[in-house]
Structure 1
Amino acid sequence: MESPTPTPPPPPPPSSSSSSASAVHPGIAPISYLLGTWRGQGEGGFPTINSFSYIEELHFSHHSSKPVIAYSQKTWKLHSGEPMHSESGYWRPRADGTIEVVIAQSTGLVEVLKGDYDAEEKVIRLQSELVGNASEVEKITRVFQLIGGDLSYVVQMATNATSLQPHLKASLKKL
């Protein structure tokens, strides 16, 4: 006799005050300033492509029971509003000041980054440990910093034909 198909677990109970949306898991507290939605303008370029401008939206969220931040990003052409790029992933800060990040891009590229954060200076420095599914990209660095309430970042990239070069930079305001 076949056993019945197991039923999925019931949904979690409604949030109590100890696990409300405003509660922050202690593991992400040092970089909890990222939580929320950020929007602004950026500029991109590279020795092998024309410069461009874009509008960007970043969203950082988490559940208070997990020491991880979910991340999503979308960009649009500045003048036409046409979609350009998107990516999503997870950020996992560690108590020792290090951080691990995984990002999957809409282009099929996958990044595994490691780095460090300075909770006092509100800066996060990331360097790729692995860039997967990339025929030309060999290395990516990302630096995020909260400056005067704005979230700024710089992305650099190296390919099999170029050394590490500036690629993207933006300044975003919290919505």
Structure 2
Amino acid sequence: MAGDGGEAKKAAAAAVHPAIEPLSYLLGTWRGEGEGGFPTISSFKYGEQLNFTHPGNKPVIAYSQKTWKLNSGEPMHSESGYWRPKPDGTIEVVIAQSTGLVEVQKGTYDAEKKIIKLESELVGNASKVKEISRVFTLANEELSYVVEMATNLTSRQPHLKASLKKL
């Protein structure tokens, strides 16, 4: 009987809301390396960790990200937010960045191909950034992404790309 309490807790923790099921492959911690650049900044490389967690009873995935300099481990950027997939294959994402910038993203996901495409509906509290797109792809057990950005001085161009493995 003592084992029953632990079993019930494990079952509850493993439960995934039906709306989250198509993206449940994201759940967990991902770690890897990326590189960035833009016409107005020097190119750089970074380490990164993404966490996707799910409370079980809500149709939402909590998202957090942090990056660091590869050579020193010094923290660089961080952001967090929520991903809300809908049964029709659309998704809404809200992200707050450590820089003060906020994003409202809308897009689509393909559960079979494991591709998520996001386009900014709103970029708030940003003096220069006008739009941001993000594309996440899972292939060969690697989660990769590409971020493109447009500013008041540049059209949309590649900004970041990374490849991560699940821990």
Q: TM-score range by the shorter chain?
A: over 0.9
Instruction: Give the alignment of 1:1-175 within 5 angstroms.
Output: 16=8, 20-175=12-167
Q: Does the CA-based 8 Å contact 1:62-1:68 persist in structure 2?
A: yes
> Relative to structure 1, is the Cα distance of residues 80 and 17 closer, same or farther in structure 2, using a 3 angstrom cutoff?
closer
TM-score of the superposed pair, with normalisation by structure 1: 0.90
Q: Does the CA-based 8 Å contact 1:19-1:65 persist in structure 2?
A: no
In 2, the alpha carbon distance for the partners of 1:72 and 1:17 equals 24
In 2, the alpha carbon distance for the partners of 1:107 and 1:155 equals 16
> Relative to structure 1, is the Cα distance of residues 94 and 67 closer, same or farther in structure 2, using a 3 angstrom cutoff?
same
TM-score of the superposed pair, with normalisation by structure 2: 0.94
Runs (4+) of structure 1 exceeding 2 A deviation are 14-19
* CA deviation map 1:119-161 (0-9, x unaligned): 0000000000000000000000000000100000000000000
> Relative to structure 1, is the Cα distance of residues 74 and 15 closer, same or farther in structure 2, using a 3 angstrom cutoff?
farther
Identity of aligned residues (%): 74
Greater share of helix: 2
In 1, the alpha carbon distance for the partners of 2:86 and 2:92 equals 8
* CA deviation map 1:54-97 (0-9, x unaligned): 00000000111001000000000011110000000000000000
In 1, the alpha carbon distance for the partners of 2:7 and 2:118 equals 33
Q: Displacement, 1:16?
A: 3.4
Name the count of aligned residue pairs. 162
Give the 3-state SS of the residue equivalent to 1:168 in structure 2: strand
Structure 2: runs of 5 or more not aligned: 1-5
Q: Which amino acid aligns with 1:112?
A: V
Look up the match of 1:3: none
Q: Which amino acid aligns with 1:75?
A: T
In 2, the alpha carbon distance for the partners of 1:71 and 1:160 equals 28
Q: Which amino acid aligns with 1:88?
A: S
Q: Root-mean-square deviation (CA), in Å?
A: 1.4
> Relative to structure 1, is the Cα distance of residues 127 and 15 closer, same or farther in structure 2, using a 3 angstrom cutoff?
farther
